[in-house]
Amino acid sequence: MRFVATELTDDERALQREVREFLDVELAHGYYEPGLGMASGASKALSRKLGERGWLGMALPREYGGGERSVVERFVVVEELLRRGAPLEHHWTADRQSGPVINRFGSEELKRRFLPLVCRGELTFSIGMSEPDAGSDLASVSCRAVKVDGGYELSGTKIWTSNAHLADYAIVLCRTSDAEDRHAGLSQLIVDLHSPGVTVNPIPFLDGTEDFNEVVFEGVVVPADLLLGAEGQGWAQNTSELSFERAGPERWISPYLVVEHFLREYGDDLGPEAARFLGDSVARWWAIRQVSLTVARMIDEGRSPSVESALGKDLGTQFEQEVMARIQTLVDVEPSLVSSSAFQRLLARAVLVAPSWTVRGGTNEILRSVIARGLR
Amino acid sequence: MTVDRLLLETADRAFTDTCTHAAIQAAERDGWAPAIWDTAAGIGLPWIGVPDAAGGAGGTVSDGVAVLGVAGRHAAPIPLAETGLLAGWLLASARLPIGSGPGTVVPGRAEDDLRLAGGRLHGTAHRVAWARAAERIVALVDDKVVAVVPSAARIEPVANLAGEPRDTVVFDGVAVDEVADAPPGIDGDALLFRGALTRAGLMAGALLAMSELTVEYTSERRQFGQAVGRFQAVQVHLVRCAEEAALVDLAVQVAAREADRGDARFEIASAKLLADDAARVATRAAHQAHGAIGMTQEYALHHLSRRLWAWRAEYGDRTWPERLGRAVIDAGPDALYRVIAEGSASGIRT
């Protein structure tokens, strides 16, 4: 497998400058507690401002409030947000997945209803895929939607649903028929999480923070017009939702701030071992970023780089964990969430969340099977 | 900076025809492969990336490095990097004629002690690729680019891990053939980077070929009633190989592109560092996936894996991580992200 080198165009660089200038002001140092990658907290205010700038729903059609901009342009915006640890969880899923999938498969009515809100940063979405008995083997979902007058009645349980306690909607993968082919009977429903019959039970993260939830649907009535795409096409839609965005900056940037603050706090007194760590890390960071940018460019060129994306995610997330493993051998400090040192706070958070990097968005083991099939 | 695809197809055909298993084995035994050289030289491959005006075959550095990738893919046992992108580059930079036969360069290792005295060259140069077969040896000595005819020197044959000639050359007051001042910017450090770029280019090709060979073998080899490549534990090795190859290949493309534009020191150092890492990680995975057959001379894997181990040790080896890290420390935390995103253009002094 080969990647063809690409780089930012002058227009893309101009956008990058614009985003940097905006964030320099908006996220002035000390004004917020930087987070790590996708686990950075939520700020409705920031999301709305990004929406005003046209930096949410960037690739969506203008008639629905989007900017008809490219995947690479979104890459530029997201990269700047992530490397500053900006709080982006309010809009993250809607901007990254739900908006694009509604645009691709949704009816005209669904697009008119949801996309302008996604572009303005006013909606929080969750992903209703995993279930207690369906993790990597997503085709075995058992959440069931039965046709009733005017729509569907949804019953079942989703789990590991990030941000469901804050979200307005979830796109839920569920069974709408008992087809012989277990991929065939699946559909996607857009479910209002404030509907009667929805219960969101927090599952505290290992450090006690809130992110994960169990979402229980008990006879939840979902109007027929909230069926996303065609009935029975849920599997294909879901797969496309997963495949393309896998190699984005969020897959390799997570420990960036830990390293930046390491350099900030220890930069005057670093020995050869720390220098080698920085050399190895920065070289690999630079190259993995090139891979990620190349995948974005391929999508803009109308190709379907699902194997390349999987490869980018595997490379990026393994690298992230390697950075965390090595940096802890260089300084004799106890990571602490309440330290006065920003490095130690970020280190503590990163140590706690690092295992999730190779799990979320498809475990690396499953991705490797995807890649291996693609290599043949 | 788009690489000429027709050129690469031509190079691939030439090496497919000439770099057979037997021919590579013979080259290792004999220390020279005249038929492979003649074919490559006949279509100008050794001088791609050296300007027309200087007597080269034209094309960009990216073209030259891409040709090295094709050569690395076929384990071509000839001084392709040395003749054009190294010796040819030094000679052209000093406005000296580049010649038409195989050329080589003195890498300039710490243990060398070359000096000029009264127009004659003294001292010993180590690890000179194919010195025994070259028509001229080019060296940087006392801020001068110097070319000598090997027959005037004493050559002690030495080989690297892959059996490629890396000779020791003793110059005992040898009359120099050509000499000129090295222009500003052409010095031992510039040669180190240029050499690293050529090695990374060769390694990218070898890594891609190794990945493909491993996928092919594990899809044919059957155990427990199925192709071994269907076992997830084996797939981990296939993926590791493919990832490292793809990463190095892309890094090399960007490094060569930047070399065509100007300062590419960060990109070259990074590409060589990653290629050196891959030489450890990907060869281990490829050999593990192959099992015993990979350890034999009759099977082609060693043509690639031994070259990767040998090339890893050339032009910098493990000096790169610390050197790059020092540059990152000097650039400071406020520049860190720009370094990752923009490389040499960030202003980092690698």
**Cβ distance of A270 and B215 shorter than 8 Å:** no
Nearest to B274 among A79, A264, A283 (CB): A283
Tell me how crowded residue A5 is: count the other CB atoms within 10 A of its CB: 22
Here the ipTM equals 0.97
Per-residue pLDDT tens digits for A148-207:
999 999 999 999 999 999 999 999 999 999 887 888 899 999 999 999 999 999 999 998
Give me the residues paired with residue A187 across strands: A174
CA separation for the pair B268, B195 (Å, rounded)? 10
Chain A positions touching B271 (Cβ under 8 A) are 287
Distance CA B202, CA A253 (A): 30
Residues 6+ positions from A268 with CB-CB distance below 8 Å = none
Report chain A residues whose CB lies below 8 A from the CB of B323: 279
Contact status, residue B36 vs residue B76, Cβ threshold 8 Å: yes
pLDDT of residue A159: 96
d(CA B164, CA B27): 8
Among partner residues A3, A260, A278, which is closest to B325 by beta-carbon distance?
A: A278
* Residue that wins the pLDDT comparison between B248 and A39: B248
B233 touches chain A (CB under 8 A): no
User: Chain A neighbours among B 153-172 (CB < 8 Å)?
Assistant: none
Q: Is the pLDDT of residue A244 over 70?
A: no
Q: What distance in Å separates residue B242's CA from the closest CA in chain A?
A: 7
Identify the CA nearest to B282 among candidates B342, B315, B320, B241.
Answer: B241
For chain A, the average pLDDT equals 94
Does A341 contact B at CB distance below 8 Å? no
Between positions 259 and 288 of B, the ones with CB within 8 A of A are 266-267, 269-271, 273-274, 277
Q: Cβ–Cβ contacts within 10 Å for residue B145, how many?
A: 24
Strand partners of residue A228: A188
Is the model's pLDDT at A30 over the cut of 80?
no
DSSP per-residue string spanning A306-352: HHHHHHHHHHHHHHHHHHHHHHTTT------TT-S-HHHHHHHHHHH
Residue holding tokens 């181990």?
B309
User: In the structure, what pLDDT confidence band is assigned to residue A376 with cuts at 50, 70 and 90?
Assistant: confident
HSE-up (13 A, CA, CB side) for residue A336 = 7
* Beta partners for residue A170, in sequence order: A126, A191
What is the predicted pLDDT for the residue at B96?
96
Contact A2 B246 (CB under 8 A): yes
Using CA coordinates, name the residue in chain B closest to A293.
Answer: B341
Output the CA torsion A272→A273→A277→A280 (10° steps). Answer: 60
Nearest chain A residue to B242 by CA distance is: A1
Candidates A265, A262, A250; CA nearest to A323 is A262
Given a cut of 80, whether residue A245 has pLDDT beyond it is: no
- Helices and strands per DSSP (H, E), number in chain B: 12, 10
Size of interface A-B (CB pairs under 8 A): 145
Cα–Cα dist A298/B223, whole Å: 38
Helix residue spans in chain A (DSSP H): 10-26, 44-53, 71-83, 92-93, 99-105, 108-119, 234-243, 256-266, 272-300, 306-327, 342-357, 364-375
Answering whether pTM is above 0.90, one says: yes
Question: What is the pLDDT at residue B214?
Answer: 98
Give the Å distances, CA to CA, from B196 to A283, B49, B146, B315: 14, 16, 21, 5
Each of the 350 residues of chain B gets a pLDDT tens digit; together they read 578 899 999 999 999 999 999 999 999 999 999 999 999 999 999 999 999 999 999 999 999 999 999 999 999 999 999 999 999 999 999 999 999 999 999 999 999 999 999 889 999 999 999 999 999 999 999 999 999 999 999 999 999 999 999 999 999 999 999 999 999 999 999 999 999 999 999 999 999 999 999 999 999 999 999 999 999 999 999 999 999 999 999 999 999 999 999 999 999 999 999 999 999 999 999 999 999 999 999 999 999 999 999 999 999 877 999 999 999 999 999 999 999 999 999 999 99
Tell me whether A29 touches chain B (CB under 8 Å): no
Backbone angles phi, psi at B337, to 5 degrees: -70, -35
Question: Is residue B245 within 8 Å of residue B286, measured between CB atoms?
Answer: no
Cα–Cα–Cα angle for A245, A249, A251, rounded to 5 degrees: 75
Spatial contact of B177 and B42, defined as CB atoms under 8 Å apart: no
- Cα A54 to chain center, whole Å? 19
pLDDT of residue B1: 55
Inform me whether the pLDDT recorded for A357 exceeds 70: yes
Considering only A24-28, A225-229, B134-138, which range has the smallest mean pLDDT? Answer: A24-28
pLDDT in tens, A281-327: 999 999 999 999 999 999 999 998 999 999 999 999 999 999 999 99
Amino acid letter, residue A65: G
pLDDT at A239 over 90: no
Alpha helices in B173-264 (DSSP H): 188-220, 232-261
Q: How far apart are CA B350 and CA B346, in angstroms?
A: 11
Contact A167, A209 (CB under 8 A): no
What DSSP assignment string belongs to A23-61? HHHHT-TTSS---BTTBS---HHHHHHHHHHT-SSTTS-
